[in-house]
Each structure stands twice: as C-alpha cells, then as structure tokens.
C-alpha cells in the first residue's frame, strides 16, 4: 500500500510538472494535430499539383482478351477493349489523374505475355515498360462465368505492373475507369467484380509487397513520432532532475530507486497514451481532409480509410515503440549531465533507425523484401518489429509468403514477444544505470 502511494505521488508530481511545462502541450497534444494537419495540407497541395500538372505519363496496355466465346452473351464481345476505351476517355478528362496520360496500346501489342513479364523483371529495362496493364486472354469469359456463377469464386483479373515511384496505381486505374464509365456494365466491372492486381516491382527480385499507400504512411509517421516524441519528457524527467538539483533530495527519501524509475516511466506512458489518442484524432482528421478533396481520383489514391483493426494495431504499435524508446532514453539520460546533452544523445541515437524503419514501412515492404537476406539485420532495430506487426496484422494474405516463422500468427507472436522482451530488457538496463545515481556526490 505504501509503495502504491509513493508511486502514485511520484506519477502525479511528474504529470503535474509536465503539464505545466509548455513543451508537453506542444509535443503531446498539439504536435500530432499540427503534424497531421500539415501533412494533410501537403497532400492536398500535392493533389492539386498532380491534377494540374502538365507532365504526362505513358500507361502501356497489352490486351490479350480473346473476347466472348459464349454465344449467349452476344452484346459483350470484348470487355478488354471496353476497359481500354474507359482509360482513353479518362485520360482526356480534366478531373482525372490520368489527364494527359498517354494510353499506349501499340508498343507491346505483339509481345507474348512471357516476354512482357521478362521485360518488367529486368532491373535495367523495367522502367521502359511501366506502368503496364495486362488484360488476360480469358478476361471476358471469366467475367461472364463469374456473373452467371452463384458462387462467384473466380473474378476476372487485370494485372497492373508499376515501379514504386510510379504515380499510376490500381486505385487510379479503378477510379479512372469508374468515373468515365457511361454504361452500367463498366461500372459494375470495376466496382464489384474485377480485381486489379497491382504488383509493385521491387529489386533485387524479391517478392513484391502489397499494402496501400495509407497504411505505409501511417506506419512511417506513427513509428517516427512514437520514437522521437518521448525525448523531451525523458530528458527533462531524468537529466533535468539532476540539472535542477532535485535528484539528490529525491534519492534521500525512503523510496527505492526502482520505484522512482518505474514511476517516471509510468508518467511517461500516460503522456504517450495522451499523445497516441491525439495522433489517432489527427489521423482521422487527415483522412477527412483528404476525403473532402473534390477529386475522386486523387482521394481514391491518397485517402486513408481507418478501420478498427488499423486503429487498434496502430495504437498498440505506438505504445510499444514509445515504451522501448523511453527505456533506451532513460539510460542515455542517466549518462548525460544536463537536459540538452540528453536530448542530443537521444535524437542522435534514435533518429536514423526510426527514419530507416519508417521509410521501409512507407514503401510497403518488409526489410527482407527490400534488401534481401541482409534486410534481416533490420530486425535488430526494435521498431522494425512494430511495423511488421502492423503490416502483417492488417494484411496477412499479402505477407503470407514473407513470414519468418512459416505462419502469420506465429510471426505476430514473435514480433509482439520480441517487443515485450525488449521492454523488460530496456527497463533492466535502465534500472542498473539509474542505480549509479548517488547521494551527496
């Protein structure tokens, strides 16, 4: 009971001090709102620039569709051509992201499918042929069979191959065809039945990763801020007490060093919890900003549609990452003489790994997919497990072929377990470092 009261008193004091310091309001409450608002503004500006840009991109199309081989569906002779027609129409529409794009159906019209695949898998030549849409030879037949089948087990697929830097993605294609479709038939194709399989080509020849822009962006921002935001609190709470000469008196009180450490961490986690909530609010606001842009093509590409799973996993990821960052930060702060040194050490130690992991998450890949075997070394960085937890948790099918343990559930357990282990390891190290704090030194 006494220990509980002591910890309670310490936590209340930390929170009271922190909330009366301006940095807390700025960092933990206004910071995330500001950050997502700025990002929303940047994305909106990007959308304006993209939609008003004079630069065109060439979209190559190879149509292998043999058309309707069933005599009982006479009006639908070749859906592949209908698809291309919609792309052409949207490329001339001022509201479309495909505006000004050249729909090139000639260059690869005589190529075999296998030749095209070989071309786009060639690192030196892939950019000559991408973005590339391949309409398979049984496109019309499969669609008709899909429609007439009660089970709807097979849906027609249009393949889109693009490089990570390409602007044209599956959402653009879908939106482009949808917005210009005049017939109910074409709308039905894109909205309900057709799977546009986007394959993001990544070299050197690793399996492609598929995850939307939205989740990659959320993962990057969430990791970076979860790691960097605790800097001010950790530095002030530990190095700051030493600098302000309150540590010595505190250590002379009848409270164990571990309880002091634990209380400060607990207070930090309360602040991180507040920050996470504000981050989620900012994320929802960002999604609303992007969704309100009156450009279906743009918002279909860049908008984020937060689901409950996404919000829960993002929250968990941020809390775990922040806890580890604070554990490491305490050890660094205990080695520093003052707040500025502690903050500098923290930033220097955390920034580059956080940015690296965030960027990998942004492009939607896992480290071993992006860098091959050597990418496994990234798993030494704690936050790689956080992004992996988020990606695999939300898109288990997408990453099913890229598991470390052979199954997605086991991978999730591995990542979560590793993060928990690291938390305790950091606490242990931090408590040993904190033990060095002396009285009357």
Partner 1 sequence: MKIREKASLLPQEAEVYENLTARENILYYGQIYGSPNGEIVQRTEELIDMIGLRGRENDVTKEFSGGMKRKVLVARTLVMDPDLIFLDEPTTGIDILGARTVRNLIKKLSKELHKTIILTTHDLAEVEELCDRVGIIVKGKLAAIGTPDELEEKFQKAGIEDVFIGLTTGEGVLEEDQHFPKKKRSLVSRLLKRSEGN
Chain positions contacting partner 1, by CB under 8 A: 1-2, 5-6, 8-10, 13, 16-17, 20-21, 244-246, 248-249, 252-256, 439-440
* Nearer CB in complex with partner 1: 1/150: 1
DSSP designation for 29: I
CB nearer to partner 1: give 27 or 403: 27
- Residue 13 CB, nearest approach to partner 1 (Å): 5
Minimum CB distance to partner 1 smaller for 199 or for 257:
257
- Say if CB 346 and CB 332 are below 8 A apart: yes
Cα angle vertex 366, ends 362, 370, to 5°?
90
CB closer to partner 1 out of 2 and 294: 2
Least Å distance, CB 344 to partner 1, is 23
CA 402 and chain centroid, separation: 17
Best CA proximity match to 217, nearest among 282, 297, 163: 282
Task: Please report how close the Cβ of residue 209 comes to partner 1 at its closest, in angstroms.
Answer: 47
Minimum distance from CB of 243 to partner 1 (Å)? 10
CB of 8 to partner 1, least distance (A): 8
Shortest approach of partner 1 to residue 174 CB, angstroms?
54
Least distance (Å) between residue 347 CB and partner 1:
24
Cβ nearer to partner 1, comparing 260 with 280:
260
Sheet holding 132-135, edge to edge: 102-104, 58-63, 132-135, 157-162, 195-200
Least distance to partner 1 from the beta carbon of 345, Å?
23
Query: b or e along 19-35 (b: 16 or more beta carbons within 10 Å of the residue's beta carbon)?
Result: eeeeebeebbbebbeeb
CB neighbour list of residue 14: distance below 8 Å, 6 or more residues apart: 237, 263, 264, 267, 268
Complex with partner 1: residue 90 or 263, whichever CB lies closer: 263
List 132's β-bridge partners, or say none: 60, 161
Q: 22 vs 294, which CB is nearer to partner 1?
A: 22
User: Over 130-197, what HEC string results?
Assistant: CCEEEECCCHHHHHHHHHHCCCCCCCCEEEEEECCCCCCCHHHHHHHHHHHCCCHHHHHHHHHHCEEE
- 3-state secondary structure at position 296: helix
For residue 276, how many C-alpha atoms fall within 13 Å in the half-sphere facing its CB? 22
Question: Which of 237, 384 has the CB closer to partner 1?
Answer: 237
Sign of CA dihedral 391, 393, 398, 402: positive
Least Å from the CB of residue 10 to partner 1: 7
| Residue 261 near residue 434 (C-beta atoms within 8 A) | yes
Question: In angstroms, rounded to a whole number, what is the distance separating the alpha carbons of residues 383 and 227?
Answer: 9
Nearer to partner 1, 6 or 344 (CB): 6
């Amino acid at each position: 009971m006494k220990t509980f009261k002591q910890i309670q008193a310490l936590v209340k004091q930390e929170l009271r001090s922190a909330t009366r310091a301006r940095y807390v309001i700025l960092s933990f409450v206004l910071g995330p709102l500001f950050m997502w608002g700025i990002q929303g503004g940047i994305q909106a500006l990007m959308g304006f620039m993209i939609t008003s840009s004079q630069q065109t991109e060439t979209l190559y199309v190879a149509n292998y569709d043999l058309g309707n081989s069933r005599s009982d569906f006479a009006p639908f002779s070749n859906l592949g051509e209908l698809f291309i027609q919609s792309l052409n129409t949207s490329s001339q529409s001022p509201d479309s992201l495909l505006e000004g794009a050249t729909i090139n159906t000639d260059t690869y019209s005589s190529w075999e499918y296998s030749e095209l695949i070989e071309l786009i898998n060639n690192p030196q030549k892939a950019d000559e042929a991408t973005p590339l849409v391949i309409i398979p030879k049984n496109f019309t037949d499969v669609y008709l069979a899909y429609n007439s089948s009660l089970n709807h087990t097979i849906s027609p697929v249009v393949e889109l191959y693009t490089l990570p830097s390409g602007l044209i993605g599956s959402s653009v294609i879908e939106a482009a065809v949808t917005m210009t479709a005049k017939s109910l038939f074409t709308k039905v194709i894109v909205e309900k039945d057709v799977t546009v399989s986007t394959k993001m080509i990544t070299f050197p020849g690793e399996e492609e990763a598929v995850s939307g822009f939205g989740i990659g962006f959320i993962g990057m921002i969430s990791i970076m801020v979860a790691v960097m935001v605790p800097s001010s609190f950790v530095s002030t709470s530990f190095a700051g007490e030493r600098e302000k000469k309150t540590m010595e008196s505190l250590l002379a009180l009848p409270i164990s060093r571990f309880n002091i450490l634990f209380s400060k961490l607990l207070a930090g986690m309360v602040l991180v919890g507040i920050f996470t909530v504000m981050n989620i609010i900012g994320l929802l606001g960002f999604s609303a900003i992007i969704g309100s842009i009156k450009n279906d093509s743009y918002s279909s590409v860049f908008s984020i549609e937060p689901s409950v799973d996404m919000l829960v996993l993002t929250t968990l990821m941020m809390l775990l990452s922040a806890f580890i960052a604070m554990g490491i930060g305490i050890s660094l702060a205990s080695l520093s003489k003052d707040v500025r040194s502690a903050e500098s050490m923290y930033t220097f130690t955390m920034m580059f790994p956080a940015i690296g992991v965030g960027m990998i998450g942004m492009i939607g890949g896992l480290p071993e997919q992006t860098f091959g075997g050597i990418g496994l070394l990234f798993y030494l960085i704690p936050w790689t497990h956080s992004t992996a937890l988020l990606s695999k948790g939300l898109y288990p099918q997408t990453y099913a072929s890229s598991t470390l343990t052979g199954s997605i559930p086991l991978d999730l357990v591995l990542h979560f377990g590793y993060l928990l282990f690291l938390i305790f390891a950091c606490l242990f190290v931090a408590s040993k470092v904190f033990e060095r704090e002396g009285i009357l030194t």
